[in-house]
Every structure is written in structure tokens, then in C-alpha cells.
Amino acid sequence: MGRKIVVALGGNAILSKDASAAAQQRALLETARQLVKFIENGDQLIISHGNGPQVGNLLLQQAAGSTQDNPEMPLDSCVAMTQGTIGYWMQNAMNQVIRERGLDQAVATVVTQVEVSSDDPAFGQPTKPIGPFMNKAEADLAQKQNPEFKFIEDAGRGYRRVVPSPKPIGVIETAAVNTLVDAGIVPITVGGGGIPVVRDGNRLVGKEAVIDKDFASEKLAELIDADALIILTAVDNIYVNFNQPNQKKLKRVSTVELGRYIEQKQFAPGSMLPKVEAAVDFVNTTGKEAVVTALDNIEGFIKEGEGTVIVKQSVSTNV
């Protein structure tokens, strides 16, 4: 077995403007053509993914069609629904590309529960953006139609609903994922950050929340003793002073340096910040490397080490 790597894929990479199933399946087929490069490189791949756009859309659809006899499902169940749907699309896309490349590889989706604390302060402070971007008029209308929802402006790109986002403290299906990995199967797991649950004696009870997929992926990577955590985003590298004349690309950077940049508020809270924080957590906890780069830069990372590599200590190569 080669390197054991957890690759975290954002929900926005699956759904952009067209929310139809066909469009998302087409996007995932292109995603699979990139991800299969890790398999061709001899790596043991573990795939995780977000679901922010998808679960938000599902909640709006359910709220619009809810009746007393056919009520909408709670948020944890909607996370499970989108986790299963995206996993189904992704494993089919991966299987198609694997066959096209003449590889011998199995893929399986694990409906994954992620443990959180019932005392997590996030339950009183909704911060996780989900669903489609809206302009102010659209957000005001959605607020009027759904008075229990909360909407905020998200990173200058429009308005979105926000929900609680507690930190993961465990992955219930860790043993199942390890069994698949030991058998050489590619698991698709902690989809959408996993279904948030708390322990109540022998029971696991779902909570109304969406866990950030980067933090859930970090926790999984830590628990399964992954060799690397790779977080895929919209840009090839992490930047400081992003989109400013003095912007700087980070190529190889230490967790200490990133800590200073976090203190300087260099990273947008709803965008790059959770990716950076998750990468720092993984490196500090395990001593191994994390990488932040773009989906279409996977080949560049595999062949040339392109992207932002986060380590405990580094000799700066940033420009």
C-alpha cells in the first residue's frame, strides 16, 4: 500500500450555479478524473466532501413543500440524505473513470456519523454558511418565508443561511473506514462533515447542525493515521494579502507562520480560514504534512509538489 491520504473536496466543487442532479453528476465525473490520479500514483485514497450548497438547497425545498401530514426532515437527516446522494454520484463517477483507466479498484460510500459535544458553544452561534448564494432581496424573501432561519453576508459573494457548526470530537465509523482501507477499497466518508451526533448513554442522537468538512476530514485523517491531509479548494495555493497588489503565494509554510497569519486575520472565516485551521491542527497533532491546493492542480502536486505544503517547521520558499 502506498501513502494513505485523505482528500477533502468542497461542496461548491460539486454544485456551482446549476443545482440539477445531472449537472452535479457531470461535475463529479470531472472531479473523479482528477482524483483517480492519486490511485494511479499508488496512493491509498480516502475521499471526503462538503455538502453546504446541497443541504441548504434541500432544506429550502423541504421548507417550501412541508405540510402537517408530510413534514420537513430535521437538519441531521438532511445531512444524511445529501451524504448518501453525493456518495452515490461520486462512487459511480469514480467507478466509471477507474474502468476507463483500466484500473482494478473498488469504491464504497460510508454513511458516517461524527460525534460532537452537546455543550459546544456553536449551537448558540450559527456560523456555517449553507445553501445557494442570494442577493439582498432574495435573502430578505427567504427570511420572510422561513422566519426561523438566519442569513448573513458571506465573504463578499452574497447572502447565505447559516447554521450551527460544532467541532468534531470523534468519527463513529472509524473502524469501518479502516477495514475498507486495509482491504484496498477507496472509502467516501464524513460526507458533508458527517452527520452530527451526541452520545446519550448507548444512543447516538442527531443534532441540528452542519459540521465543517475540513475539520471532520482532519479528525478522520488523525484517527485513521493518514500520511497526509489534502484539502482541495478553488485556488492552487494559500495566499496572504489575497487579491491585493502585495499578495504573496505560500508554497511551503510552517504551522507557526500560519498561526501568525491567522492572528492577522489574513483568511476569510467562511472560506479559507477553516481549511488553514484544519491543516494546522492535523500537522500539529500528527507531525505529518497537510496540503492546500486546487482540484485541477492534483497532477502538479503529485509530479512537482505544487500547492501549499504545511509542515511543523519549514525553510520559507514563498513568493
Catalytic residue among 275, 288, 297, 307: 275
**Residue 11 appears among annotated catalytic residues:** yes
Out of 128, 207, 219, 288, pick the active-site residue.
Answer: 128
Identify the H or E element spanning 38: helix 21-40
Q: Are 290 and 231 in contact (CB under 8 A)?
A: yes
Residue 87, CB half-sphere, CA atoms under 13 Å: how many? Answer: 24
Q: ∠73-63-133 over CA atoms, to 5°?
A: 110
Residue 179 DSSP SS3: helix
Strand (E) positions, the chain?
Answer: 4-9, 44-49, 107-109, 113-115, 128-134, 150-153, 159-163, 170-171, 186-188, 195-200, 203-206, 228-233, 238-240, 248-250, 252-254, 289-294, 308-311
Task: Please check whether residue 34 is in contact with residue 101, taking contact to mean a CB–CB distance below 8 angstroms.
Answer: no
Is 12 a catalytic site residue?
A: yes
CB atoms closer than 10 angstroms to residue 99: 11
Catalytic residue selected from 51, 131, 194, 213: 213
Rounded distance, CA 53 to CA 129, Å?
9
Cell of 1: 500500500
Known catalytic membership, residue 248: no
Catalytic positions are: 11-12, 128, 213, 275
